[in-house]
Amino acid sequence: MDEDLAEYTTDLDLEAEIEAFLEDDDSPDSTILQKPIWLAELESALEDGIFDGDILKSIIMSNSLPDELRPKVWPALLGVHGKGSGFKRRKELILKSCESLPNAELASSIIAEYSQSRGLVPKSEFATILSPLLCLGLDDDVTYNCFYSAVSKFHPRTEKETVKCFLDLLVQYFDPEYARALQSRKLDYSNEAANWIENIFVSFLSEKTVFSFFDLIFQSTDGLVLLFTALVCLMNRRDNPELDINDIQPDDLTDLIQLAYFYKEKTPFSFLQRMREEIFKGKKAKTEINNFLVLPVSPEQVVKDVLNATACVVLDIRPDVNFEHSHLIGSLRLSCCIEDELMEMTSLRSSIAQFHKNLSSELKKDGIDIDLPDIVLIGSEDSDSTLFTVANELLRVGYVGVSVVVGGFKDIVKEIQSIGSEDLLLWRNPDNPILSSAPNSSYGGWFNLSTAFNTLNSTLEKVLQFDEDAVDTHF
């Protein structure tokens, strides 16, 4: 018994000795044992002269960097490591927006050089964005290159009002009830969020959080991560209106960015492209974004989704006579009579209720457990008043993911013709060997979902049996 007790006591002493050894900050081995694996790998890569941004991203993942590594890692993440710039500091140039910065002369020179190279007027937010980079103590030309890359990727090149419109559409797309609440209470959260984006959040987060935030977003080459981060903050205010983003801590950032990517993945691809082009490349679309009540998608995406059998519910709300003449295969109808620029509201609401009931029933038959699927609306054109009337009602009854085809049905037809897939159109042509057997939807009738999908599949099978010339000449 005494021997067992002695052995047990010895084991306890050994454990205590090991703990003391690990807690000894002077022990070089304890640092190695306590250091996270990713950090050890990152330090090893940097020591080996590896500054490839993609490799470093795969090591860092969602972790915040130690202060001492940021001067080496940020230039690599921004793709400017080892690149020259020809930048020269302009002596005695002090911009008013830079007066409070630690190195006002350097900051003024960087902003002036960048603005001149891009044909821009120096903006006050440039100084705000530059301030974290100045804290790294990098060489002048490296600081300039980092600033150039960061602003080019993440700072909007369009008016704040445009950014606000995109955010409003996204909020409505994902949560129309919340969007209506904001409108009724006249809460302009999206305007505030547009300010966050313009400053890349620098003015609105604590200094410690800003550095960790840059660690994460610099790993992305897409400025949209910034916009969707702002969207997440907006959506979080639904349940917590008093939420202040200044309260965000570094530990919150991983979840925040992951949610941003979640919303991005759920957004129609063509709308992502449009936001990217307009906000971060300054390219104007033919139709102003503020002309849309709901989120716009391209006819190219709709046709592609139909071909790939990944399309959501397509609801054609053109006048009945136009629908009877031709429509996209698989598209659905409302049971009410639709006339040009005219729709009786009581009839419309009754029709939408019936549409929802029938749609839910058909989806359940097909084993699809979705109560309110995403809906793409096809109108005659963008300015079709009927289009917005139906969109409003769908949003009112709780549909999410409502979007509208840019250019309407005529642009759908153009896209179908351009890719030689005219058999995606059902239209009245008795001489057409493929379409003559297609089911004829009754005037104003609701086009059955299962019938639509079956027709789509059978038509595509028949298309494959025809040679290319036959398909091209029947339209």
State the pLDDT at residue 278: 94
Q: What is the pLDDT of residues 194-224, one digit of tens each?
A: 999 999 999 999 999 999 999 999 999 899 9
Q: What is the pLDDT of residues 1-54, one digit of tens each?
A: 455 545 444 555 555 555 555 455 454 444 445 789 999 999 999 999 999 999
Tell me the Ramachandran region of residue 101: left when phi exceeds 0, alpha when psi lies from -120 to 50, beta otherwise.
Answer: beta
Distance (Å) of CA 161 to CA 12, 39, 150, 171, 338: 67, 41, 22, 15, 35
The label of the residue with tokens 């991560």 reads 225
What is d(CA 271, CA 298) in angstroms, rounded to the nearest whole number?
A: 8
State the pLDDT at residue 10: 52
State the pLDDT at residue 446: 36
Domains of the chain with bracketed CATH: 15-77 (no CATH), 96-154 (no CATH), 160-290 (1.10.472.80), 295-473 (3.40.250.10)
Measured in whole angstroms, the distance separating CA 462 from the mean position of its chain's CA atoms is 38
Nearest Cα to 444, choosing from 338, 340, 357?
338
State the pLDDT at residue 227: 96
Q: Which residues of the chain have pLDDT under 50?
A: 1, 5, 7-9, 22, 25, 27-32, 429-475
